[in-house]
Amino acid sequence: MDGVIEISGLENRFGAHQVHKGVDLIVRRGEIMGLVGGSGAGKSVLLRSVIGLQKPSAGHIRLLDHDIEAADPAAVEAVRSRIGVLFQDGALFSSLTVAENIQVPLRENLSLPEGLLDRIAAMKIAMVGLAPEAGAKLPAQLSGGMRKRAGLARALAMDPEILFLDEPTAGLDPIGAAAFDQLILDLRASLGLTVFMVTHDLDSLAAICDRIAVLVDGKVRVSTLADHMKDDHPWIQAYFHGPRARAVSASGAGHMTGAR
């Protein structure tokens, strides 16, 4: 098993409140893993722990064969240069143009001539389906969907091996969300990406995820959508068989029945 993210015994506490109670999770190279859970279950905390923004209370995280806790700062930075992160709504720098936003990680990690930086930014803009003129625009001049794509272009700037997505389709209309899902599938196919995606979007889970990690009771249950549909845990039953899930299934999303 080629695990590019390996989490074992992960615990996160905030004062007396324990969010994670021994999370074990392996994300395989080349797969799209969805992460779901109820409000306050610790989805974003888990994501921040994996990418090194949240120091866990206990447990171990291996990212691309490196123990994040034990590695020296230079090794950690080297690993971080091999991942890309898309935060909610893109998290772009408001005073920089789209092209300048994409160039930020390149300037921080590499010494490249200005002409090459411009060409790389233009290539990433095209890669995510934005028009060339989007590069000269400020984030405030973009629609919500365009900002997400611009944020994705920045996440892809360093040609990462792993792409982390935090609620990538939140706030998008159904057509825009479906188009974004297809873009992720296309990028995975063309770039060989591994994708770790925090989401609550049942359509996305059904359409693009190979496996789904469900955060319940401070731990994760990892399986395919078809197997989660059979799980008798009350929250999992409510999530995958509730009104929204039935609406997705009725609309023709065959993946909700486990078909891929």
Measuring CA to CA, which residue among 77, 47, 31 is closest to residue 220?
A: 47
pLDDT at residue 40, rounded to an integer: 87
pLDDT at residue 154, rounded to an integer: 97
Residue 99 falls inside a structural domain: yes
pLDDT at residue 247, rounded to an integer: 54
Residue 186 falls inside a structural domain: no
pLDDT at residue 251, rounded to an integer: 52
pLDDT at residue 246, rounded to an integer: 53
Residue 107 falls inside a structural domain: yes
Torsion, CA 151, CA 48, CA 31, CA 218, rounded to 10: -140
Cβ-count burial of 112 within 10 angstroms (0-12 exposed, 13-18 middle, 19+ buried)? middle
pLDDT at residue 258, rounded to an integer: 43
Residue 172 falls inside a structural domain: no
Residue 33 falls inside a structural domain: no
Give the total number of structural domains in the chain: 1
Structural contact between residues 48 and 23, judged by C-beta atoms closer than 8 angstroms? no
For residue 140, what are the domain limits? 90-159
pLDDT at residue 244, rounded to an integer: 61
pLDDT per 10-residue tile (average), the chain, 260 residues: 91 94 97 94 93 91 89 85 88 95 95 97 98 97 94 97 95 93 97 96 94 96 94 93 63 45
Contacts (Cβ under 8 Å, ≥6 apart) of 16: none
Residue 147 falls inside a structural domain: yes
Residue 237 falls inside a structural domain: no
Residue 38 falls inside a structural domain: no
pLDDT at residue 71, rounded to an integer: 78
Indicate the SS3 state at residue 222: strand
